[in-house]
Homo-oligomer: A and B are copies of this chain.
């Protein structure tokens, strides 16, 4: 059997009891480490499970399905992923590869940022489409995520913004070489995300800035959700560009324009702005 096991928000004890039992009895256990990050080093996880883990990088997960699934028809093999197994398209794809090879599979669900984001007090059911904000560089500044935030705002839905993660990215110079060199890992902060959104907003006309989003619009910055060091800050978009929430992972939420009183009361914990009569 092939098991795709969600590790939850990244602390070793966030695995479910069911997941842990499976990890202990598997012949091989792979740990996927590039679509998100763990809150602890691999060694700590291995000590907690009492077994070694095989590291699965992007190449192995996206092109090495044969290697990971080898023998999974006869013995138990697991792939561990941070969050829930269906949080990233690449894992859905992996299940299809297992099906193709007629390998029986089972999914062990867990919390992911997609539902844990409710911890800021904004009601989960009112979130619209989720956007991913990619790192810009000098020549590549995609801004299509703004249109989705816009659509959600127009329809009075909250927007969860997932912030870019660059892990094991080849350096541009080594892209064409056989032996790749890798950039140091980078994790987008809420300040960087807010800055990119501000850059887009600054280009819009006054009408758009009045009706959709402007520098005074509220946003919610979250860091290390589910960990003891979790931080949540509510601020204006402008001030969020200067808000330091510390170590990764960060997420940003652009709330709907109309917020329920219960949501307001909850968000008020995280800001000195008087939310009750704030209207952006």
A124 to B118, CA, bound (A): 15
Tell yes or no: A44 within 8 A of B by CB.
no
- Are A226 and B109 interface neighbours, CB within 8 A? yes
Tell yes or no: A89 within 8 A of B by CB.
yes
- Are B115 and A128 interface neighbours, CB within 8 A? no
For residue A99, which residue of chain B has the nearest CB? B269
- Are B18 and A17 interface neighbours, CB within 8 A? no
A118 surroundings in chain B (CB, below 8 A): 84-87, 92, 114
- Using known A-B contacts A13-B21, A132-B125, A157-B129, determine if residue A266 contacts B115 with beta carbons closer than 8 Å: no
Tell yes or no: A8 within 8 A of B by CB.
yes
A18 to B99, CA, bound (A): 33
Tell yes or no: A262 within 8 A of B by CB.
yes
- Are B124 and A87 interface neighbours, CB within 8 A? yes
Task: Report the interface size for chain A: residues with CB under 8 A from the other chain.
Answer: 54
Tell yes or no: A6 within 8 A of B by CB.
yes
Tell yes or no: A127 within 8 A of B by CB.
yes
Residue from the set A121, A132, A155 with the largest chain B CB neighbour count within 10 Å = A155
Tell yes or no: A254 within 8 A of B by CB.
no
For residue A14, which residue of chain B has the nearest CB? B16
- Are B13 and A17 interface neighbours, CB within 8 A? yes
Tell yes or no: A96 within 8 A of B by CB.
yes
For residue A121, which residue of chain B has the nearest CB? B92
A20 surroundings in chain B (CB, below 8 A): 17
For residue A86, which residue of chain B has the nearest CB? B118
A92 surroundings in chain B (CB, below 8 A): 118, 121, 123, 262, 266
- Using known A-B contacts A116-B84, A118-B86, A129-B125, determine if residue A14 contacts B6 with beta carbons closer than 8 Å: no
A11 surroundings in chain B (CB, below 8 A): 18
Partner of A110, one of B111, B114, B162: B111
- Are A110 and B110 interface neighbours, CB within 8 A? yes
Tell yes or no: A265 within 8 A of B by CB.
yes
- Are B116 and A124 interface neighbours, CB within 8 A? no
A95 surroundings in chain B (CB, below 8 A): 266
A124 surroundings in chain B (CB, below 8 A): 86-87, 114, 130
Tell yes or no: A53 within 8 A of B by CB.
no
Q: Apart from A86-B118, A128-B129, list 4 A-B contacts with CB within 8 A.
A: A84-B115, A87-B115, A114-B118, A129-B155
> Could you give 16 example pairs across A and B, Cβ below 8 Å?
A6-B111, A8-B16, A16-B16, A16-B17, A84-B115, A86-B118, A87-B118, A92-B262, A96-B262, A109-B119, A114-B114, A115-B115, A125-B132, A127-B129, A127-B130, A128-B128
When A and B form their complex, which 7 residue pairs have the shortest distance between CB atoms, in order from nearest? A86-B118, A109-B111, A125-B130, A13-B18, A115-B115, A13-B17, A114-B115
